[in-house]
Structure 1
């Protein structure tokens, strides 16, 4: 190890050595915390300073040789000439003892050997870790030290800071002598850490690592050196990409354990107790677990802080604590955690602290353990520490001693797992359902079990358990039970016939529930469009019920009205119920974005919803985001992505739910897009059959007839398609502009060309009012095609322009590509460059681009002049040049590529609302 920040100490030792050479001997005690560099200082002094000027006799004491008589003295004599070694050996062979002490005669003879050696040449005697020296050698050294004042002997003793010792410390006896000097070595400062790292690493790297290395090691040189080695090892593994920060790895952990085994045993016990207790434990707890007194334990904590292992009573780095725990061994570690749990429980400690030790111990047999674990799990769940809560509950479940406790523990465990990943509760459903049937669970846990069953597609079990609970539940609990029944009816409409027609009750003194409100709207008891239905909903409703209620609206238009009032509730509940639940608000937002025709947002929200929560955790609700992804993929022309979404497995009970209806509808639209009209028609007709089975094929149900008619039109079965569409028109409510627009659009396709424009004009107006931008783009495209089919090119081209612009803003790429040939006045066989205007666009100046862009959008010359702050004459001149360069006759023939240019020019403001906004 390189020596840094030790120049003053070397200077002092050098001065004392000069005095020694002049006949003034001395004793130097070098002391400090463990691994602070005492050994390195002695070696540097003997090699760099003393050199050939003295004979150097060295020895290092060790706990392993502490009980070997004269073991340390033998090491020193190995460096002496044979004559002196033989004399010392003869003196020691006749050693006599009085009351455990060596006779003065023997001590005198041994000292005389060293003094005679110094007469021949000066001696530097270095003893490292003298606190571990055997008693006999220590007596000889102390006897010699008292006779060094007028000799050429310099005795340097390395001594470690301690709070106590079995044998008297050398410095206790020697410090009273005037020729005895003490040198205390302190840990390195931050600059010293940087200098030490710079000897091993690049200077820039060393500078960047100095501050964090100092924080982790407290300046302990041995630990700093370990960090440098860890960084080098990581750099070798990483190759060219060197670590960006400090690496605290195996070498650091090994050196921490090494340091602890070099200090006194009681300090090691304190270090282990601190590691077991974790955090910053009170001194009393450390003392209790280590078996020491409070004062002694506090002193040893201070010793460990000086050594750079602890800081303010806790480990500087978690790697150090983990290393100490590993060093204990599994059996001892478990035993200490059990003792810690007993100790904290006896002292009335916090349940969470006790639970940490119970979980670490494994299988506690204490009768109070189960209650402590459940209480800790409840607190951890409320704080969002779900993993720890699960550990507590799993352990509590294993030690439950009767069926009631086991059922309760399983229910609490399922609740915690439900919050982090709903798929985990599936393994508990059989036992929990049995517990509900046997009345082993509290009302709240029984209701939660029913919701799990509904969520994961097990309505038969849920209905059976619901019937049994209904027969025995009264009072306030009955209202909650009716809410769960409402969830059953919403998610599994086929169960409504047997569930009765009574909507869930709303407490008289509280706001309405979302589930009850949705069920009344679905049944048709109240108009879904009334905003009063959604205002003032009960905000504390469970997230599962909010999600089931909101996403079970089988008719997407219902969500348009409900979303502004319900999405904030969904967000709040998601934040409270667990880290994995944000997928549910995203799924609802995806539905809302799809209804607006915002395809990028819908795809982003739906994909995010499925990414944030595992597919099995969605249960039957997976149909909602999956249908949204399918629809957006089809509308944007990404058919391979749509096929990949269809390949995903879905729950078997999905088609019993409204989520399955939307999935079938989206699948049918995909089949139609890839020219499989028979398969598409089958999916749409299945939707209709399901709605009839549910008695829900009413005016506000899913408009499956529109989709089926589209498939029939593709099969050239116009009469059947027209009949379905007329049936849809007869059942439509007056306020359903979206369904009206879609119906009129497809009805027009079943008529003769000259009959289509009138219906399509009405369809465009209805869809504009509904705000569905994608459907509006399709209707405009059909209108333009209808005008073109009747030979009315003057009206066809503006309609197609509006359709292209709407489709482009919505990123409906398939429709955009299909419109380009007609807008460019070319055939689909032309290359893309021709469709966009070709190279002729490069001939336009910037001013001509701006004028042409505004003209292509339908602005008059005067409007263009006002927006660009130029004269009408200038506009006319620019347009003349645009027509000439692009080889068109008038503004209706301008290529469609010009319409987007003003979007990229911040200097031209948009005038009026966009069709797609």
Structure 2
């Protein structure tokens, strides 16, 4: 047995026993809260002295044996000789009165038995939990206590600190005797908790867990030992590293229940009432719920505080509260929760507190319950407690009494679930659509149903329901329906036209509808004109549903549109996502992925897109899944992660995806993946499908998806250059002057249809356009093509710097597949100029360069003249020449065209001129 912080108490008991051995009997009462260590102290002391100096007779009282006559006395006598046992039975049998009470003769006879035994050898009688003793045994013990002053008997009684005890006469009687010693045990200190944990755990672990264990247990030794067992069990089951913090598990819960059942019935009732309420509450309320007196309840709460179970009237840990609730029988627990809810409602308690009780009960017949639950759901939603709000609405829906109430409650529940997890709203779509059809839902709830249908690709139902509502709508409701119709046209243009809904494409958008983000976007898409951030900012209403903001933003399939609106829409989208629930963060993250892709940061784009699908599964996304999947495919193909890209291609997508602009983005990205893995025919099929869809939608305009550029790229791979050139010329003919991104792409692929010596002028123009558009990935590809064109014509002087710049640009935007493909080209151009001048360079030789030589060498490797290097580094031209001489000698090369690419590190080239100026050599002569 383990005792901590009990040395003083053991010393007191040892002194009393020493006196007892000399004929001075005594009574020691061990008092303290439940499970504070009284039993451990009694048995530890008995083990140390029993059989050596005294004879130990022990017993433990139990609530289950409280009504068993002489049950405790029978335990004490169990370890004595048979003669004493028979004598006790005779005395008791003849001394019980007719009314069942114990007569004086019986009490005197039982006492004489113990006194006679002590004449042979000293007795140590230990009774644990004497508060649960049966009345007959207790009278015998009190009678003996009054007669052991001149005996060799030491009586140790373990008793709980309690108020209003049924055994109050025991304390009153014993307190009168001067030979009765009260020994009070307090819970352990934090240092004591650490020492107790150290008996079972490593000393370092025990020290690290001590503060947390003290906070959870209040120093209760039984609960502290349980935490040590939980930690050890968790360590044994851990497959990796052991837990770093406190583990509150099954052993802890078991010990909590053990503590409960050692309490008096009233204390147990109060402990259960506190668990049911679950929060700090007035003592009067706890007393009424537990059906005890207020004064008694206050004292029992203090007792539970001292025991370590409670702290200021609340359970110290959620696991303790849950263990107490699980200890109930289910019908009893439900009845307590229902009674608590009714009491709270009667006294005007908070709606959320009442709702917690109703949800815990799971059922009620109270007519006021649905209204309270809906009020609590609204309050919980406003404070971000979405799961609790859903629980309230779920129960309110189950309690609805008629069709109208059920429809409304289902609509409210679906809206709350939609904010958290759009896929969960699918289960309500059928009943909600029927409710709209039968006029049970009106206003915002009907509009929400339409948005759910559009999100999940159920377009026919949405169109039919929209037409039915539009036939009778007027005023603001008609404007809102117009905004939903704009969403339908944006996301499902083919269905919109086939169904004949709405205005023709050439008709102006209703002014009431245009005062929204989707209306502004629809105006831009219909007119095939550029969309500005100012227009979208004006159209972005703060009260517009997040689903419409999402559809409007991500429906801008062209990159330059998104590049224009992202700085305006992302902050508001982030704020809306934060208020609408955690799963909507995935939508915001997907928009960030697209923005990063447009900025040429492939690594960040891939990370954001992957996080978006992790945060919200594909089922939650509906047809919008095409946006993050397209981004993932593009980044995986460009960064060379082709196995990951294959996994993305094999992901199932909604059937309605290819009827949306998100499907076009997905098809384009999938086609690029096919090109990356050498499947030009599959790529060409995807790109032409984009064109066919756009023609079907009557949306094949100059500002829509540039599928012709993609198809031309696939045709070049198939060596069908004339067809590719025709498509590219069609694209360029209708291309707006401000669409520099598409211009750069078209010119690059048009150059690929020409002979190598004809390509540089077009590629130079393409590089200027892509750089102006901020298309860093495309710019790297253009530089690579430019370097290859120079190399194919034997112009190594121009090829080398262009390929270097292409490699560096690819590295900066993490286009690893392009960067790796450039390494052989760099090697070939170096070999052509240096084959007759010695072996190729090794990276170890660069280590011989000083910092100044490395800076000069890096700028020379970029194609800078000596004068440009001198101006850049603020040194003289003569110093540049001296450094270059040392660089050539150490690296064993003759001139700058042979300098290795590894000299071009980011720290050497920071603050460099725009990449285009670095990549395309000017007419300045090269210095030797």
* Aligned residue number for residue 885 of structure 2: 880
Matches within 5 A, 1:401-440: 401-440=401-440
1:591 lines up with 2:594 in the alignment: yes
* Aligned residue number for residue 862 of structure 1: 867
* Aligned residue number for residue 154 of structure 1: 154
Relative to structure 1, the CA distance from residue 139 to residue 30 in structure 2 (aligned partners, 3 Å threshold; closer, same or farther) is: same
Matches within 5 A, 1:61-72: 61-72=61-72
Per-residue CA distance 1:58-115 (angstroms, 9 max, x = gap): 3333333333333333444445556655554443332153865433344334434444
Post-superposition shift, 1:658? 0.9
Separation of aligned partners in 1, 2:686 and 2:73: 97
* Aligned residue number for residue 16 of structure 1: 16
1:322 lines up with 2:325 in the alignment: no
Separation of aligned partners in 2, 1:472 and 1:824: 73
Separation of aligned partners in 1, 2:859 and 2:248: 64
* Aligned residue number for residue 464 of structure 1: 464
Post-superposition shift, 1:487? 0.9
Q: Is the 8 A contact 1:408 1:441 kept in 2?
A: yes
Per-residue CA distance 1:455-481 (angstroms, 9 max, x = gap): 111222111111111122222222222
Secondary structure, in 3 states, of the residue corresponding to 2:271?
A: helix
Separation of aligned partners in 2, 1:248 and 1:528: 57
Separation of aligned partners in 2, 1:700 and 1:96: 107
* Aligned residue number for residue 282 of structure 2: 282
* Aligned residue number for residue 657 of structure 1: 660
Q: Is the 8 A contact 1:531 1:561 kept in 2?
A: no
Separation of aligned partners in 1, 2:839 and 2:740: 35
Secondary structure, in 3 states, of the residue corresponding to 1:582?
A: helix
* Aligned residue number for residue 896 of structure 2: 891
Separation of aligned partners in 2, 1:232 and 1:782: 63
1:669 lines up with 2:669 in the alignment: no
* Aligned residue number for residue 785 of structure 2: 782
Matches within 5 A, 1:469-484: 469-484=469-484
Residues 82-91 or 406-415, more deviating: 82-91
Relative to structure 1, the CA distance from residue 557 to residue 72 in structure 2 (aligned partners, 3 Å threshold; closer, same or farther) is: closer
Separation of aligned partners in 1, 2:84 and 2:607: 89
1:845 lines up with 2:846 in the alignment: no
1:243 lines up with 2:247 in the alignment: no
Post-superposition shift, 1:411? 1.3
Secondary structure, in 3 states, of the residue corresponding to 1:183?
A: strand
Query: Number of matched residues?
Result: 908
Secondary structure, in 3 states, of the residue corresponding to 1:177?
A: coil
Secondary structure, in 3 states, of the residue corresponding to 1:372?
A: helix
Residues 758-767 or 40-49, more deviating: 40-49
Separation of aligned partners in 2, 1:850 and 1:293: 87
Q: Is the 8 A contact 1:575 1:581 kept in 2?
A: yes
Separation of aligned partners in 2, 1:129 and 1:679: 82
Secondary structure, in 3 states, of the residue corresponding to 2:31?
A: strand
Separation of aligned partners in 1, 2:790 and 2:117: 122
* Aligned residue number for residue 452 of structure 2: 452
Secondary structure, in 3 states, of the residue corresponding to 1:59?
A: strand
Q: Is the 8 A contact 1:535 1:565 kept in 2?
A: no
Relative to structure 1, the CA distance from residue 836 to residue 649 in structure 2 (aligned partners, 3 Å threshold; closer, same or farther) is: farther
Please report the RMSD computed on the Cα atoms of aligned residues, expressed in angstroms.
3.0
Separation of aligned partners in 1, 2:845 and 2:613: 44
Separation of aligned partners in 1, 2:240 and 2:605: 42
Q: Is the 8 A contact 1:37 1:221 kept in 2?
A: yes
Per-residue CA distance 1:749-771 (angstroms, 9 max, x = gap): 33344443332222222222111
Relative to structure 1, the CA distance from residue 810 to residue 2 in structure 2 (aligned partners, 3 Å threshold; closer, same or farther) is: closer
Q: Is the 8 A contact 1:503 1:516 kept in 2?
A: no
Relative to structure 1, the CA distance from residue 884 to residue 328 in structure 2 (aligned partners, 3 Å threshold; closer, same or farther) is: same
Separation of aligned partners in 2, 1:781 and 1:98: 113
Post-superposition shift, 1:889? 4.1
Post-superposition shift, 1:886? 4.8
* Aligned residue number for residue 773 of structure 1: 776
Post-superposition shift, 1:440? 1.1
Per-residue CA distance 1:383-440 (angstroms, 9 max, x = gap): 2222222222222222322221221122122112212211122222122112111121
Give the one of 808, 811, 833 matched to 2:814: 811
Relative to structure 1, the CA distance from residue 342 to residue 656 in structure 2 (aligned partners, 3 Å threshold; closer, same or farther) is: same
Separation of aligned partners in 2, 1:81 and 1:724: 112
Secondary structure, in 3 states, of the residue corresponding to 2:261?
A: helix
Residues 578-587 or 15-24, more deviating: 15-24
Post-superposition shift, 1:452? 0.9
Give the one of 696, 708, 725 matched to 2:728: 725
Post-superposition shift, 1:264? 0.7
Give the structure-2-normalised TM-score. 0.91
Per-residue CA distance 1:846-887 (angstroms, 9 max, x = gap): 354332211011222234345556543332233234345555
* Aligned residue number for residue 517 of structure 2: 514
Q: Is the 8 A contact 1:806 1:915 kept in 2?
A: no
Separation of aligned partners in 1, 2:239 and 2:658: 53
Post-superposition shift, 1:451? 0.8
Separation of aligned partners in 2, 1:543 and 1:434: 24
Secondary structure, in 3 states, of the residue corresponding to 2:583?
A: coil
Separation of aligned partners in 2, 1:160 and 1:837: 87
Q: Is the 8 A contact 2:29 2:183 kept in 1?
A: yes
Secondary structure, in 3 states, of the residue corresponding to 2:304?
A: helix
1:626 lines up with 2:629 in the alignment: yes
Q: Is the 8 A contact 1:70 1:137 kept in 2?
A: yes
Q: Is the 8 A contact 1:486 1:503 kept in 2?
A: no
* Aligned residue number for residue 5 of structure 1: 5
Separation of aligned partners in 2, 1:143 and 1:218: 38
1:646 lines up with 2:662 in the alignment: no
Post-superposition shift, 1:450? 0.8
Separation of aligned partners in 1, 2:93 and 2:363: 59
Give the one of 556, 559, 562 matched to 2:562: 559
Residues 757-766 or 780-789, more deviating: 780-789
* Aligned residue number for residue 306 of structure 1: 306
Secondary structure, in 3 states, of the residue corresponding to 1:384?
A: coil
Give the structure-1-normalised TM-score. 0.92
Post-superposition shift, 1:490? 1.0
Separation of aligned partners in 1, 2:468 and 2:757: 64
Post-superposition shift, 1:551? 0.8
1:195 lines up with 2:195 in the alignment: yes
Post-superposition shift, 1:630? 1.7
Relative to structure 1, the CA distance from residue 6 to residue 628 in structure 2 (aligned partners, 3 Å threshold; closer, same or farther) is: closer
Secondary structure, in 3 states, of the residue corresponding to 1:94?
A: helix
Separation of aligned partners in 2, 1:381 and 1:871: 69
